[in-house]
Structure 1
């Protein structure tokens, strides 16, 4: 299976639903919301899947893209997709492993944009939100988007992060967070 991203570029995906790609209209909406903030940013792609979100960020001028994905075959696909679209001055890295454990290794780094698209039925939401807030992985003026099933109740969010908007696109909802006013 393949999918298309910004600039009509074609990416590879794995067969089946193990790495459910973010729907095209959701990708487009997220990048429309963040359109003035991608060029030169540091992007963190959590539960990368096919790498479509990180590839879009690279195509739109992100300077650094880091992805975390658990499945080995998916990591190879992400690497291949990002290599295909990255310019020589852009950096990217794909980290294989459990997203919670790999996030802990990123302590001390900050990202301008973080996109988190876990398996919707997973129990990853709360620990990932907590680690991003506790370890200050989000840059002071950054935003953090969390993709989820709109029918599923959202977990308790850390008080350091403020929900600034939520958009629903059919079977996909995206919540956008930034630092709460006093945290920035």
Structure 2
């Protein structure tokens, strides 16, 4: 898989990490193009880490990724080490995404990208945790990749959906 600047990323074989397709990555970064440089980025269910790597390549100052699989976290770490500049910070957290969000309480992110396995039932608990721990900055934005067959956005206190 290749990202911004024709950089090659590692992924696990098969669909274990379900890398975000290039057209989706391009659409997200086109929408947020003026807001990535210097931003604090949170990548939930990070998979291959392609979205966080793209954010680093485009100048994010901090990228935090969460995934539950150890092998995946090692690959994300390796991918991000390849693309990060010395002044950029990044952190890969392994574990249950809802539980790990609690450890981020007190931090805020300008952009949050959330792409869980569609049938995981993580949508509502994760969004509630983001609101509860106030992880989204006041002027921040959240993108959620989902299938309408598996989840329908619901209004909730603390987040405008």
Q: What is the TM-score when the length of structure 2 is the normalising length?
A: 0.97
Once the two structures are superposed, the pairs formed by residues 82-161 of structure 1 within 5 Å of their partners are 82-161=80-159
Describe the shift of the 1:33–1:109 C-alpha distance in structure 2 as closer, same or farther (beyond 3 A): same
Match of 2:27 in 1: 29
Structure that is richer in helix per residue: 2
- Alpha-carbon deviation of 1:54? 0.1
- Alpha-carbon deviation of 1:134? 1.3
Of structures 1 and 2, the one with the larger relative CO (CA 8 A, separation 6+) is: 2
Match of 2:4 in 1: 6
Is residue 2:23 matched to residue 1:20?
no
Deviations 1:51-83 (A, max 9, x none): 000000000000000000100000000000000
- Equivalent position SS for 2:76: helix
- Equivalent position SS for 1:14: coil
Describe the shift of the 1:19–1:157 C-alpha distance in structure 2 as closer, same or farther (beyond 3 A): farther
Q: Is the 8 A contact 1:68 1:95 kept in 2?
A: yes
Alpha-carbon separation, structure 2, partners of 1:4 and 1:14: 14
Q: What is the TM-score when the length of structure 1 is the normalising length?
A: 0.85
1:56 equivalent among 50, 54, 61: 54
Structure that is richer in strand per residue: 1
Matched residue count: 161
Match of 2:63 in 1: 65
Unaligned runs of 5+ in 1: 164-184
**Two-structure CA RMSD over aligned residues (Å):** 1.0
- Equivalent position SS for 1:121: helix
